Amino acid sequence: MAIKVITDSCIGCKICVRSCPANAISMDGKLAVIDLNLCTYCGSCVSACKFAAIVIEIDKQAQGDLADYHGIWVFGEQNDGELAGVVPELIGEGRKLADKRGCELSVVVLGENIAHLGEELAKYPVDKVYLYDHHELARFRPEPYTRVLAQLVRKLKPEVVLAGATTTGRSFLAKVATELYTGLTADCTGLEIAEDGLLLQTRPAFGGNIMATIQCPYTRPQMATVRHKVMQSAIPGETATAEIINVPPDDSLMRSKVDIKEFIADVGSKVNIVDADVIVSGGRGLGAAENFAYLKELADLLDGAVGASRAAVDSGMMPYPHQVGQTGKTVCPKLYIACGISGAVQHLAGMQSSDCIIAINKDPHAPIFSVADFGFVGDAVEVVKEIIKQVKSGRGIAG
Amino acid sequence: MKIVVCIKQVPGTTNVRIDPETNTLVRQGVESQINPFDLYALEEAVRVKERMIAAGVETTVTVISMGPPQVEEALRETITLGADDAALLCDRGFAGSDTWATSYALAAGIKKVGADLVFCGMQAIDGDTAQTGPGITCHADYSLATYVSKVEEIDEKRARVWRLLEEGYEVVEIALPALFTVVKEINEPRTPSLRGKMKAKNAQIPIWTVESMGLDAEKCGLKGSPTQVIKVFSPEHRAGGAILEGEAPELAAKALEVIRERCTC
């Protein structure tokens, strides 16, 4: 296994040298030379070279008989007996993939007293719903969930397993994929079936500044967690059409070193920031912590959530769970209203895939205006107060 | 008690982009930094060490990382910030590792130290996967708590921690040995101390290789990685739209038009 420059094809254009994030490529006359002590096999040079002069050869074989694996699975995450918001999106995307691949789509639910979820999911365009009902699975804990899903996968051999990129999905599938020695791609924003039948998984990296497409050619299942609010939701029908299968639970899988003591809900917010369709977000430009009250009022009127920039959180204006950005949350709402936020690169990383961005800032040169669909130069607090006033005075939101 | 912290050296800025004409990664004066989340992990490890020592339990913090030779600087920096010692997993055989192969190697390093407790940052700001921490707990027998925002209680046998989930905080009790991935809310990292700087200057940081850790070379690096990156490209460029100036009521009215259009409430 190696990376090598094909001498006859290299014309010495040096594009690869510039493309390498590890500074691993230099020129020996007109020939590119790769320092194997620095190369991380990221593939940037392979993509950059216009002459196909760099190749990465991996001497690997398929593990086991890949042809034994069929079907697309969606993990039907549930919390307190309610399906996570991302599940219908996974079903929507899963159905498209299953149709292209010519295979079945199944949803797998782990939990306690989940029969009603079986009935709910059976109305969606899925072929099977597996219910794994056990009191030790009521809430997510890593070990029982991992053992159960790994056992199901080993027995039923799905070709693809998808889950939402939630705090549960990301932790849980990482353990399952490691256990099964198979590939997992995190936080995907794009999925498709290639001509050769492989699942191509596209996701952002470097805080969303680049996109990477990933595949898992040698092992099964191909696993991915999928970003919320990107894929199109499936619509359930009137009647249940899927087959519901109650899997007999195995007590021996349920040991856990984790004991859940209590849950302290975030009572300040009506809507959770990662689920919100509308986010009203504030930055240092708001001036004082009290001004966030106006953002909260507007968010409540719009059934939205309040976000904050890192600067606002670091200066104590808002608590960390509201932070949007590279070291906070990544959000993808229909509408993101940035108030007094300058638009630092790290903040954009967390919200630049919002459907529509409105920015209000005193500084006409604030970087946020370079990504905002609608920019307003003014005092964010005054403008927000005015919007609230106009909404309340009867101009309303809905027409 | 032995505490291990896993760190990753990442580019100094994630403001990297692809030049769409040449399809090359444009790097703008990129130096390296310790992954920001890992600094919080290190700080928490040092604070737990201080708590345990105050309770009469001898405790050390060892930092490990997998990467090329220059990662040694990052490890030395962790000693200025309170770590007792560090080791670098460095071998050509590790190059091209995805999260499976990385967690495999780091787990071996953790076992070599004999850690009772492991701290990792929530995710790395370049790869953004959040998979390595959980993966380590499959290669080595550690219980797992992710998104930890507070270590409320800790002793040699168990800990009581808060996890920051989407809808609020989950409080769990977890048996050691355990691995925690932490979020920024957990603490405020300290700045280097004079004593730390002196210790860092003299520290010997050993290099651990595929062979010296008894790893299976087939499970390391590109060869051991089940995922493959086949393409790297630029996201659709988002261009800014119209910018309006005016008095607040005027701006508000226009903004409200957009909101009405976009809002389904």
- pLDDT of B262: 84
| A105 shares its domain with A226 | yes
Position A168 confidence tier, pLDDT thresholds 50, 70, 90: very high
Asked if A376 is an interface residue toward chain B (Cβ–Cβ < 8 A), one would say: yes
DSSP character at residue A391: I
Q: To probe the interface with A, which of B19, B163, B230, B261 has the most A CB atoms within 10 Å?
A: B230
Average pLDDT over residues A268-295: 90
d(Cα B47, Cα B62) in Å, to the nearest integer? 13
C-alpha dist (Å) from residue A239 to A4, A89, A120, A122, A125: 57, 19, 9, 8, 11
CB contact under 8 A, B92 and A37: yes
pTM of the model: 0.90
Give the A:B interface size as CB pairs under 8 Å: 351
* Nearest CA distance, A202 vs chain B (angstrom): 9
Contact map slice: A 155-194 vs B, CB within 8 A: 166-168, 170-172, 174-175, 177-179, 181-187
| pLDDT above 50: residue A382 | yes
Residues of chain B where predicted confidence (pLDDT) is lower than 50: none
| A292 shares its domain with A388 | yes
Average pLDDT over residues A53-58: 88
| A213 shares its domain with A319 | no
Residue B234: list chain A partners with CB under 8 A.
210-211
| A177 shares its domain with A295 | no
**DSSP secondary structure, chain B, as one string:** -EEEEEE-EEES-S--EEETTTTEEE--S--EEE-HHHHHHHHHHHHHHHHHHHTT---EEEEEEES-TTHHHHHHHHHHTT-SEEEEE--GGGTT--HHHHHHHHHHHHHHHT-SEEEEES--TTT----HHHHHHHHTT-EEEEEEEEEEEE-SSEEEEEEEETTEEEEEEEESSEEEEE-GGG--PPPPPHHHHHHHHH----EE-TTTTT--GGGSHHHH-S-EEEEEEPPPPPPP-EEEE--HHHHHHHHHHHHHHH---
- CATH of residue A383's domain is 3.40.50.1220
3.40.50.720, 3.40.50.300, 3.60.70.12, 3.40.50.620: which CATH number matches B2-224? 3.40.50.620
Residue A264: list chain B partners with CB under 8 A.
162, 168-171
**B196 dihedral zone (left: phi>0; alpha: psi -120 to 50; beta):** alpha
| CA-wise closest residue to A356 among A340, A377, A334, A339 | A334
Mean pLDDT (chain A, rounded): 93
Of A19, A327, A371, nearest to B37 by CB-CB distance is A327
- pLDDT of A217: 95
CB contact under 8 A, A377 and B16: no
Minimum mean pLDDT among A55-59, A81-85, A355-359, B253-257: which range? A55-59
CB contact under 8 A, A186 and B233: no
Q: Which two tokens stand for residue A144?
A: 């029982």
Sheet with A128-133, edge to edge strand ranges: A184-188, A222-226, A160-164, A72-75, A105-111, A128-133, A243-246
Residue B132 burial (10 A CB sphere; 0-12, 13-18, 19+): buried
Q: Which domain holds residue A364?
A: 278-395
- pLDDT of A365: 93
The tens digit of pLDDT for each residue in A218-277 reads 999 999 999 998 899 999 999 999 999 999 999 999 999 999 999 998 876 667 898 899
* Nearest CA distance, B126 vs chain A (angstrom): 4
Instruction: Give the torsion sign (CA, A302, A354, B128, A178).
Output: positive
Chain Cα centroid distance, residue A281: 21
ipTM associated with this complex: 0.92
Can you tell me whether residue A327 is helix, strand or coil?
coil
DSSP character at residue A367: G
Of B22, B69, B231, nearest to A15 by CB-CB distance is B22
d(Cα B93, Cα B111) in Å, to the nearest integer? 19
d(Cα A338, Cα A353) in Å, to the nearest integer? 14
* Nearest CA distance, B177 vs chain A (angstrom): 10
| A107 shares its domain with A211 | yes
Q: Are A163 and A169 in contact (CB under 8 A)?
A: yes
Q: Which two tokens stand for residue A51?
A: 């002459």
| A42 shares its domain with A74 | no
Chain Cα centroid distance, residue A6: 37
Buried b (16+ CB within 10 A) or exposed e, A91-116: bbbbbbbbeebebbbbbbbbbeebee
CA-based angle A338:A344:A347, to the nearest 5?
60
Pairing mode, strands A243-246 and A128-133 = parallel
Average pLDDT over residues A365-390: 95
HSE-CB for A284 with a 13 A CA cutoff: 10
Please provide residue A291's backbone torsions phi and psi, each rounded to the nearest 5 degrees: -70, -15
Asked if B29 is an interface residue toward chain A (Cβ–Cβ < 8 A), one would say: no
**DSSP secondary structure, A44-58, as one string:** HHHHH-TT--EEEE-
Q: Residue A273 domain-assigned? A: no
Asked if A280 is an interface residue toward chain B (Cβ–Cβ < 8 A), one would say: no
Average pLDDT over residues A77-92: 96
> Higher pLDDT residue, A116 or B12?
A116
Residue A214: list chain B partners with CB under 8 A.
227-230
**B95 dihedral zone (left: phi>0; alpha: psi -120 to 50; beta):** beta
d(Cα A332, Cα A101) in Å, to the nearest integer? 28
| A381 shares its domain with A308 | yes
| pLDDT above 50: residue A399 | no
First to last CA, chain A: 63
* Nearest CA distance, A185 vs chain B (angstrom): 7
| A97 shares its domain with A52 | no
d(Cα B264, Cα B100) in Å, to the nearest integer? 42
Sheet with B60-66, edge to edge strand ranges: A258-265, B168-175, B158-165, B143-154, B178-182, B117-121, B2-7, B60-66, B85-89, B207-208
| A71 shares its domain with A45 | no
| A152 shares its domain with A226 | yes
| A124 shares its domain with A235 | yes
Of A41, A185, A352, nearest to B96 by CB-CB distance is A41
Structural domain tally of chain A? 3
Residue B148: list chain A partners with CB under 8 A.
none
Can you tell me whether residue A186 is helix, strand or coil?
strand
**A189 dihedral zone (left: phi>0; alpha: psi -120 to 50; beta):** alpha
The tens digit of pLDDT for each residue in A5-42 reads 999 999 999 888 888 877 899 999 999 999 988 888 87
* Nearest CA distance, A318 vs chain B (angstrom): 12
Q: Residue A259 domain-assigned? A: no
Q: Residue A231 domain-assigned? A: yes
The tens digit of pLDDT for each residue in B247-257 reads 999 999 999 99
Report domain extents, chain B.
2-224
Asked if A199 is an interface residue toward chain B (Cβ–Cβ < 8 A), one would say: no
Q: Residue A173 domain-assigned? A: yes
Radius of gyration of chain A, Cα coordinates, nearest whole angstrom: 24
| A49 shares its domain with A73 | no
